[in-house]
Structure 1
């Protein structure tokens, strides 16, 4: 697998080692393999990691496919893919509610990853899952198109450098914006569920901004600072305002036709071009 990347106009002079470690955030194992396999070329020659690169430098990276195993995906339906952004490294799609992000069994072919595999097959490219949306959540979903991009984007996600904003419609009159910091852990009684667990749970931070409120329902924006399973759903239920249509965390209420949670916006700095990419869905819960 060979990739050629041209450094952007705003690239300051820097050694390859610093570029890989400090800016691209390449994992130690990947850097080690690139070094011992002589997998980095500058102007067609094997590069020394202390060489300085700058604006316009072309870097060719070769990854051994055996070092980055790929789980084959059954091809789904390419017509179900709605692309919001795509280049040679990344692809962002608008996931409908009711479709899983990826399969759990090799025989499945009706997840977003399967449909994207079908869409990318003519380009001889594969989708790599970066993050997930719950089956019943719609909206912005990011995939990498190479193991190199996957590594970089995953690190950006870990470093909390990808901004994600959701729309939700919740039950009741939520009158003020707030930040929820309740820790989240697994339920002991239902393997599907997560619960507030301040003793053994993981840190979880959700910023909630009220867009509109009324006695019966309120419209809110939620920004994730962490990415725990069911985080927004658990946090909103914990403050007494569960999401409309959430059969798991508020089964007593009259249900809507779907879970009213939508990944509305994503903003990130492209790992190679350094451009700020802002993706906003045309669809939404109230726009």
Structure 2
């Protein structure tokens, strides 16, 4: 695997060693092989790792097969994909309703990861899961296209540097224009499919809610939700616990609908290498 990156104009000078370890999160073993095999070039020249690199420099990295083994993913149908953004390192797609993000069993072939494998494998690339959406949720989801960028984007997600905005339609009338739900979430004691607000044993979870409109005829409120954390079923559990279950939710709701009315509408991030702002929307959304 070969990676070529031109350092952006706002790059702060640092050594190659620090760049690989602290910014690009290359594992120690892989950094050792890059050094001993002289597999890092700066502006076309092999250099020592203690030397500095600066804005405008071009780094070329060559990884051997044993550095990052090729994943074994069943090939799916790439015609099912709707691509919202793509470059050498990242791909953002629209996840359809009813499709799992990734397989839970080795024989599964109809998940979004499988469809991406069908699209990327002919190009000599493979998809890597950064985050997930529930099967019933549609919308924007980002995947890494190589194992080199995967931990960088994963850290961005943990550090809240990837902005995710969801549309939801809930049962009931929400009066206040906005509020923050800061309640820990854990597994349901008796139903392993479900999660609950659990102040004692749950994991920290924060959801910001913004009211958009109220449908008096159906007694439903449209809201935007943004996340500080990414717990399983987080928005669904938080809204249901507040007394406003999402319409069409088979686990936490009380009303039926053709689908779960939850959609990952918008996603923002700064590209980890170019530092360009990427903003994608999955249209038309719920309204």
Query: TM-score range, shorter-chain basis?
Result: over 0.9
Q: Is the 8 A contact 1:269 1:276 kept in 2?
A: yes
The answer for the alignment partner of 2:245 in structure 1 is 242
What's the TM-score, normalizing by structure 2?
0.93
Structure 1-normalised TM-score? 0.93
Aligned match of 2:132: 132
Q: Distance in 2 between matches of 1:32 and 1:239?
A: 51
Q: Deviations over 1:171-193 (max 9, x none)?
A: 10012211000100111211111
Alpha-carbon offset, residue 44 of structure 1: 3.9
How many residues are matched?
A: 284
* Pairing of 1:138-153 with structure 2 (within 5 A): 138-153=138-153
Q: Which moved more, 1:101-110 or 1:172-181?
A: 101-110
Residue aligning to 2:265: 264
Of 105-114 and 220-229, more deviation after overlay is shown by: 105-114
Find the aligned partners of 1:35 and 1:175 in 2 and give their Cα distance: 60
Change (3 A) 1:15 1:153: same
Residues 105 and 70 of structure 1, relative CA distance in 2, 3 Å threshold? farther
Question: Cα 1:33–1:213, aligned 2, differ >3 Å: closer, same or farther?
Answer: farther
Q: Measured at CA, do residues 66 and 18 of structure 1 come closer, stay the same or move farther in structure 2, by a change above 3 Å?
A: closer
SS across alignment from 2:118: helix
Question: 1:133-189: per-residue Cα shift (whole Å, max 9, x none)?
Answer: 000000001011000111211111111111000000001001221100010011121
Pairwise CA RMSD of aligned residues?
1.7
Residue-by-residue CA offset, 1:64-97 (whole Å, 9 max, x unaligned) = 3323334311111111010000000000001111
Please tell me whether the aligned partners of residues 174 and 218 of structure 1 are also in contact (alpha carbons under 8 angstroms). Answer: yes
User: Gaps (5+ residues) in structure 2?
Assistant: none
Superposition deviation, residue 40 in structure 1 = 2.0
**Retained in 1: the 8 A contact 2:271–2:278?**
yes
Question: What is the SS of the residue equivalent to 2:153?
Answer: helix
Partner of 2:213: 212
Distance 1:279 1:101 in 2: 18
Rate the CA distance shift 1:132–1:46 in 2: closer, same or farther, 3 A: same
Query: Any idea what SS the aligned residue of 1:147 has?
Result: coil
8 Å CA contact 1:175–1:213 kept in 2: the answer is no
Deviations 1:30-85 (A, max 9, x none): 54554455432223443322211112211111223323334311111111010000
Mean CA deviation greater in 256-265 or 59-68: 59-68
Q: 2:227 & 2:213 partners in 1: Cα distance?
A: 20
Moved more, 24-33 or 202-211: 24-33
User: Aligned equivalents of 1:73 and 1:158: distance in 2?
Assistant: 26
How many angstroms apart in 2 are the aligned matches of 1:105 and 1:197? 29
Rounded to whole Å, the distance in 1 between the matches of 2:266 and 2:31 is 32
- Alignment partner of 1:222 out of 225, 250, 265: 225
